[in-house]
Amino acid sequence: MLRPSPLLAQAWLDDVFAAKAVGKGGIVRRAVRDVEREIGREILVPEVRRRGFHLIECGGQFIVICNPGQMQVIC
């Protein structure tokens, strides 16, 4: 699959992580198909790790928990 240039990928990431929820330690979510089309998970995963956040994939969605705190899945 053709991937965007590094500048376009960075612009996409900057846009996602500019959401108000990020600054408040909330969540952002994006459809897996949109991430795959726009930048690919191989770019998203390391960026989430770099920020110390958590990434979950469920029901065709990527959910980024924008908080570096310990995470516990209850059910």
* CATH classification of the domain holding 45: 3.30.56
Query: 46 in a domain, yes or no?
Result: yes
Query: 74 in a domain, yes or no?
Result: no
Task: Please give the model's pTM, rounded to 2 decimal places.
Answer: 0.89
Return the half-sphere exposure (C-beta side, CA atoms, 13 A cut-off) of residue 72.
Answer: 1
pLDDT digits (tens, 9 = 90+) for 38-64: 999 999 999 999 999 999 999 999 999
pLDDT of 7 reads 87
- The count of structural domains within the chain is 1
Residues 64 and 27: beta-carbon distance below 8 Å: yes
Nearest-angstrom CA–CA distance, 40 and 48: 13
Query: 20 in a domain, yes or no?
Result: yes
Q: Give mean pLDDT, residues 17-22.
A: 94
Question: Structural domain of residue 10, as residue ranges?
Answer: 6-65
Hunting for tokens 């310990």 — which residue is that?
70
Nearest-angstrom CA–CA distance, 72 and 75: 9
